[in-house]
Amino acid sequence: MDKALVSAVDGYIESLFLESDETLERTLRTSDGAGLPEIQISPAQGKLLYLLAKLVGAKRILEIGTLGGYSTIWLGRALPDGGELVTLEYEQLHAEVARSNLEHAGLGDRAQVVVGAALETLPGLEGGEPFDLVFIDADKENYPGYLKWAIKLTRPGGLILADNVVREGEVIDTESEDPFVQGVRMFNEMLAADPRAESVIIQLVGGKGYDGIALARRL
């Protein structure tokens, strides 16, 4: 794949469909400044999440894997008045950076950052209102566990999304011993076989490389 061309087309898409946004730029600056890894979704992917959240009319959103809150802000902006977002993050530092960024984005009252290993904090969400959209984007080894929770916590007709399910194509390597690849492969197989959702994967290319996102509609 011609990486320079793919990056240039990403720039073209951004120039057409994304406005310069001081809040999002600040989020990237503060995240970088605090030493967080630069593994947030791309601007165009942020717009995609925002549009998908609006399309399902999401009033309650769950995110697994906050980082500095970049994707959280995109999703939070799709919420109507009175909407709510819960985002789960293992690292205390990431959570603090994200809280500050969400506050600056005017989402401090709508978005709640819950600190801890997601598999330990997810049970605390059971019994609450179901979610309209769940975005999975934390440690890939635990994607299979996150899928179980996403199915449990999403309303019928709701949307489950999972980032990084292609990983430069490594996902088709059946011999891979990379726990990241193994986690994602298991996730994809579980999702494909799950009768409680209808699903697909979309391959994504852009300035950040070659990856993909899984989309599942909860039945």
∠40-161-204 over CA atoms, to 5°?
60
Closer of 132 and 163 to Mg ion (Cβ) = 163
Name the binder of 170 from Mg ion, ligand SAH, ligand DHB, none, CB < 5-8 A by kind.
Answer: none
90 binds ligand SAH (CB under 6 A): yes
**Only segment of 18-26, 37-45, 104-112, 169-177 that touches ligand SAH (CB under 6 A):** 37-45
| 169: region left, alpha or beta (phi > 0 left; psi from -120 to 50 alpha) | left
**Only segment of 8-16, 83-91, 152-160, 186-194 that touches ligand SAH (CB under 6 A):** 83-91
Question: Least CB distance from residue 3 to ligand SAH, whole Å?
Answer: 21
**Only segment of 66-74, 167-175, 184-192, 209-217 that touches ligand SAH (CB under 6 A):** 66-74
Name the binder of 91 from ligand SAH, Mg ion, ligand DHB, none, CB < 5-8 A by kind.
Answer: ligand SAH
3-state DSSP of 171-198 = HHCCCCCCHHHHHHHHHHHHHHHCCCEE
Cβ partners under 8 Å of residue 8, min gap 6: none
Of residues 69, 137, 142, 146, which one binds ligand DHB by CB under 6 A? 137
Question: Helix 22-33 crosses helix 92-104 at what angle (to 10 degrees)?
Answer: 160
CA–CA distance, 86 with 72 (Å, rounded to integer): 9
Question: Helix 143-153 crosses helix 179-193 at what angle (to 10 degrees)?
Answer: 30
150, 122 contact by CB (below 8 A): no
AA letter at 74: W
Query: Which DSSP symbol is given to 130?
Result: P
AA letter at 187: F
Tell me, residue by residue from 30 to 49, as one string, x for binding to ligand DHB by CB under 6 A and - for no binding.
Answer: ---------x----------
Residue list 122-141, contact with Mg ion (CB under 5 A): 137
Of residues 164, 184, 213, 214, which one binds ligand DHB by CB under 6 A? 164
Name beta bridge partners: 117: none
163 binds ligand DHB (CB under 6 A): yes
Token pair recorded at residue 160:
């489950």
Question: Least CB distance from residue 71 to ligand DHB, whole Å?
Answer: 9
Interacting residue ranges for Mg ion, rule: CB under 5 A: 137, 163-164
Kindly list the residues in this chain that would bind ligand DHB in the complex (CB under 6 A): 39, 65, 137, 163-164
